[in-house]
Amino acid sequence: MTDLDQVSLDEIDTSKPHPARMYDFYLQGKDYYEADEIAGQKVLEVFPTIKITARVNRSFMHRFTRHLATDKGIRQFLDIGTGIPTRPNLHQVAQEAAPEARVVYADYDPVVLRHAEALMRSTPEGRTTYIQADVREPESIMAAAELHETIDLKQPVALSLNALLHFVPDENKPYEIVRYLLDQLAPGSYLAISHCTADFAPEMWAGVAEVYHRGGIPLQLRSRDEVAAFFDGLDLVEPGVVTPHNWHPDGVTVPGTSDDSVSMYAAVARKP
């Protein structure tokens, strides 16, 4: 076990890997357990650039948050599938651009709950809060008192589903979930998604999927067309559905970045 602050082992199954903690391992964090590290090492054996994927995805989140706050005037953010906090977090990026920004985080992992204090350190002008909830039950997220106390759903909201939907297989109706969430948001809201794909390296990603499945973690990789379908009816922000390092690049490149090494799609779109 690594250094986790005030986590009750009764609440966490440390014998099985968890995607949020594996992601923390890829980002060279400190909040994962032995089972997560073992599974992460197995992923590295079949897909050696997975740490590049994680870093590039994190950078995409920073850029789209900054873009929406700075260039689109968005002041409200709903981040579902938050994961273990890694600075800078979404609210820090948003509030650096707009100190009055308000951010709601949602995740179902009790480890994230134990770190929620770090997610709620807002600027004096803004506000952040955390909801423990599962994206597969979107009604519980949108009905949460914490959400309604923090953001005004009559005003535009940026909905972030960053590296989340590949953990929601078709049997859980991910397209219906996304549509439901968007239906609760005002016109002028935005949707940001990043999603793993096997389009660039199918054999290696078959190996990754096997590791996750053996750990009891659902993983459904989707093609570019399948990722684009999440944005049906929305106005895509240029350049559309692309690999995340090609979405509004800022000149800061993660060494080793290529379409094959990253193997993700990302996009941002506006609700008319």
Identify whether the C-beta of residue 90 lies closer than 8 Å to the C-beta of residue 103: yes
Name the nearest CA neighbour of 108 among 219, 211, 218, 11: 11
Residue 3 is assigned to a structural domain of this protein: no
- Residue 1 counted as domain residue: no
Mean pLDDT by 10 residues, the chain (272 residues): 40 81 91 93 97 97 98 98 88 97 92 75 93 95 97 98 97 98 98 98 95 95 98 98 97 95 98 98
Domain-located, residue 31: yes
Say if 2 falls within a structural domain: no
* Residue 148 forms part of a structural domain: yes
pLDDT at 8: 43
Question: Is 4 within a domain?
Answer: no
Residues 6+ apart with CB under 8 A from 4: 31, 111, 114
Residue 24 lies in a domain: yes
- Residue 60 within a domain: yes
**What is the DSSP-derived secondary structure letter of residue 254?**
-
Phi, psi (deg, nearest 5) at residue 121? -90, 85
Q: Write the CATH number for 251.
A: 3.40.50.150
Peptide bond into 239 cis (omega under 30): yes
The CA distances from residue 177 to 109, 127, 262, in Å, are 19, 26, 26
Determine the pLDDT at residue 85.
82
Look-up of token digits 């948001």: 185
Tokens of 210: 């096997």
Give the DSSP letter string of 55-123. HHHHHHHHHHHHHHHHTS---EEEEES--S--SSPHHHHHHHH-TT-EEEEEE--HHHHHTHHHHT---
Domains in the chain, number = 1
Q: Which domain holds residue 49?
A: 9-270
